[in-house]
Amino acid sequence: MKNFPWKRVVPHLIAIGVFLLVTFIFCRPALEPGKTLNMYDMQLVKGMQQNLTNHVEKDGTSPLWLSSMFGGMPAFVLGVPAPTHLTEWVHKIMTLNLPEPFQYFFLCCICFYIFCMCIGVRPYLAIGGALAFAFASYVPIIISAGHITKVWALAYSPALLGGALMVYNKKYLWGFLLTALFTMQEIGRNHQQISYYTFLIMGIATIAYIVKWVKEKDLKHAFKAIALVAIAGTLGVLTNAVNLFTTYDYAKHSKRGGQLILPERNKETADSKTTKEGFTKGLSREYAYQWSYGKLETFTLMFPGVMGYGARGGELNENSHIAKVLEEKANYPSDQAGDFAKSFSGALYWGDQPFTDGTVYLGAVVCFLFIFGLVYVKSIHKWWILGASILAIILSWGHNFPAFNNFAFDYFPFYNKFRAPTMILVIPQLLFPVLGVMAVQQLLDSTESKAELFKQWKVTCIATGAVFALALFMYMSLDFKNENTQRTAEFNKIISSNSPTAQQQLQALNEKYPAQTDNRMYENLVYQSKGNTEMAQAIVKALHQDRAATFGKDIMRSLLFILPVALLMGLFIQQRISANILLAAIGICIITDLFSIDQRYLGEDSYVDADQLSNQNFSKSEADATILEDKEPDFRVLNLASGKDPYQESLTSYYHNSIGGYSPAKIGAYDDLITYQLAGQPNVQVINMLNTKYVIQNNPQTNKPVAQLNPGRLGNAWIVKAVKFVDGPANEMRALDHFDAKDTAIVQDTYKSLIPQNLTYDSTATIKLVKFDNDSLSYETNATTPQVAVLSEIYYEAGWNMYIDGKKTDYFKTNYVLRGMVVPQGKHTVEFKFEPLSHKYSYAVAKFSNIIIVLVFLGIVGSAIVKKRKATA
């Protein structure tokens, strides 16, 4: 142990200790026995996965087809069997196998720290940067929402970037290994959108390095470095071939591969670019841009309350303007007024997003240090960091900056597969603290004169002051309103008219104008007060004052965090304090600043009793119990009693095969079916053809859900009397508006060759499901002449194969989403098997790539050991 390099190791051990300490302090409620995070989306995932879980418990195998949502869909979006032992082993080491939520923050810290080590940042500075990255508000927000794959992918991003930069800085072997390992981890977390942003950062950094290498005429190193990063990255990608290849294959058939646009029924998306068949290329702009950050909302990076705090981040109380209005105008007692005001806390948000859990706040001190970095840092890193940050901010604006973002959406590779532009703000979340720690390190190592350093400090203070001046100008000039004034005027006119058709007029108003936050609040208050528009107007006006007060307080709040850091930095430049004092002050201010905001999104109220949470979300109702007594092998359920959109909830799928569900990546055809046939007033013929045996509805007398049999459902399969051929998918969808699903099959002309002409309907012909499993189904057929049958199973050509008496045979798509087949004469056994080639071949590729990475690791470590022994011999 004498020769052990303790001086090099101790700082890293201290860093790990600090990360653990800070993480445990922040997540201390999770240490209480029986407590768990109430993560809503994780409950959705549990409902989504239960069908697969049941299958594993029953047969010991994980199926590739999920039967419990949307009539059936590939299980690829939830993960499929793959050789992941190496990925999970590395993940457990990186997280120290900590329980949740500790592992999320620790992983963010340690990966950012690794990045800093890769680019030569001092360990103690790297600690501060890591904490700034890990505790920026977006991390607790997405943890509380249950977006866990997003957290993991975000956490691994800096480590992956660090490995690539090591190679670019001529540390080839270890850089290659880290790039391969962390690409494996990044892709393995299965959040393609965050991974896309990570590779976007790498691309911008690579361009900056290429410019540098060209200027230095170091082209040999340029080709070598880029080749090594490309090979390492490819190796890391291939270890996750199963996830990637199956997802890529599925994406072409999911809603992310395109959405059907019927201009006469979907005018708001008619401006999206479409193919001649009427499909968007990827997601429609309207859908993809739903969560666009506002231009002024971008100031939340430094002032969290610019547009309010989101659904969970702000809280009104008895001191709010709303409470005061209630006390003065309605004679509410102080405590009741405070409780009433609290119920409107979510309305503090008045930004451009339809709703949000919280704002993206990077920290006032972090933003100040970033500005200092822009002024002071003399490094190649400054320019690519600035370029990537600006690009990310512009892209986050989505529909608020169509001049550039429509171009990016249409022409950036794969970019139109993703939604929620605000998510790209993870790029500045990563890069702002990077440039900040670089700036502080350069300051600590500087040999420049006091005068020169003071000049740079002064420019930084002036630039920061300009940001504050702009924020103050906004504070004084904004009206803090979020309403459609025309809607409000028409609403008041309808309410005051007392017309017998007022309800119909109000419904038409909803279709005519979107309801902004203020409109919804105002109209609800009018209904609650039985038409008292004066009181409603007073409360909404008070809300505007509360919004202004929130912004004003946060301007002062950010100033109070920045001032001590700026002053101490000036004193350090004048050599009046030591570096340790400066670093301690920066660290304390950063973590205090971020903790106080983070607690709004992941505080003690985010933790609940684990048993209570499980019972609350998955308690079996009497309707569920009734349906579960039905032993028919396969049928579906429509739940209209949950109080939620049946196509945006997965709790029904916990117990039943549902025609609804929750997934942002449904099969595209089924998503089209929801849009045009199921949403709103559903098409009964479509409900019947989906084998919907039970409809769960609330009993008006008991207000409890009851299961009602659907007498019109058509079962698993049926023989039709006629086939109606149509030209293209748009006309196929239109044909569903008026058809008899029992007698007629709607088929596109492209499948005409698969169906014999002049078929004669045989009323005695039968088709019966005799075996049902997720990945395989068997039918028995009997017909005196060839017939056409419709199978109530979702059509998915990239995997489902049909075999008649063991011989593979073609089938076709019918009724837009279902499978159709020609039933041959005589008695036959028909089998459908889910056999996606994307999974079969990618499994072998992933297994081989895992072995290669292990061999590379052993080779590099062995080489390093041999080299060290030779050096000490």
Which pLDDT band, with edges at 50, 70 and 90, does 152 fall under? very high
What backbone torsions phi and psi does residue 169 show, to the nearest 5 degrees?
-95, 20
Angle between helices 102-118 and 148-168 (to 10 degrees): 10
**Max Cα-Cα span within the chain:** 100
Nearby residues of 93 by Cβ (< 8 Å), 6 or more positions away: none
Is 871 a residue whose pLDDT tops 80? Answer: no
pLDDT of residue 83: 76
What confidence tens digit (pLDDT) does each residue in 529-564 have? Answer: 777 888 888 888 988 999 999 999 999 999 999 999
Contact between residue 358 and residue 312 where contact means Cβ atoms under 8 Å apart = yes
CA angle 189, 601, 157 (to 5 degrees): 25
Q: How confident is the model at residue 270 (pLDDT cuts 50, 70, 90)?
A: very low
For residue 514, cis peptide bond before it (omega within 30 degrees of 0): no
Measure CA of the first residue to CA of the last residue in the chain; give whole Å. Answer: 17
- The structural domains of the chain, ordered by start, are 717-835 (2.60.40)
Give the confidence band of 581 by pLDDT, cuts at 50, 70, 90.
Answer: very high
Q: Is 36's pLDDT higher than 70?
A: yes
Q: Which two tokens stand for residue 606?
A: 């985010």
d(CA 530, CA 727) in angstroms, rounded, equals 53
| Crossing angle of the two packed helices 219-238 and 148-168, in degrees rounded to 10 | 150
Report pLDDT for 613: 64
Scan for tokens 């230095």, then name that residue: 216
Look at residues 365, 311, 321, 361 and name the one whose alpha carbon lies nearest to residue 341: 321
Which one is predicted more confidently, 334 or 304? 304
Own/partner pairs, 824-828, CB within 8 angstroms, 24+ separation: 824/781, 824/783, 824/786, 825/783, 825/784, 825/785, 825/786, 826/782, 826/783, 827/780, 827/781, 827/782, 828/780, 828/781, 828/782, 828/804
Strand 636-639 relative to strand 692-698, pairing: parallel
Confidence of residue 872 (pLDDT cuts 50, 70, 90): low
Question: Looking at residue 448, what is its pLDDT?
Answer: 87
Helix ranges, 4-70 (H): 6-26, 40-59
pTM: 0.88
Phi, psi of 769 (to 5 degrees): -75, 125
3-state secondary structure of 783: strand
The predicted model gives 713-740 an average pLDDT of 94
Q: Which pLDDT score is estimated for 650? A: 87
Three-state DSSP string of 497-524: HCCCCHHHHHHHHHHHCCCCHHHHHHHH
* pLDDT band, residue 273 (cuts 50/70/90): low
Please classify residue 13 by burial: count the beta carbons closer than 10 Å to its beta carbon, then call 0-12 exposed, 13-18 middle and 19+ buried: exposed
Residue 685 pLDDT class (50, 70, 90 cuts):
very high
**Residue 111 tokens, joined:** 């990966």
H or E stretch including 542? helix 533-573
At residue 240's C-alpha, the angle toward residues 235 and 245, to 5°, is 110
pLDDT in tens, 189-248: 888 899 999 999 999 999 999 999 999 999 999 999 999 999 999 999 998 888 888 888
Residue 112 near residue 130, CB atoms below 8 Å: yes
Residue of higher predicted confidence among 333 and 429: 429
Q: How confident is the model at residue 683 (pLDDT cuts 50, 70, 90)?
A: very high
111 neighbors 158 (Cβ within 8 angstroms): yes
Residue 503: per-residue pLDDT: 79
Alpha helices in 60-147 (DSSP H): 85-95, 102-118, 123-134, 138-145
The gap from C-alpha 445 to its chain's centroid, in whole angstroms, comes to 41
pLDDT(269) > 60: no
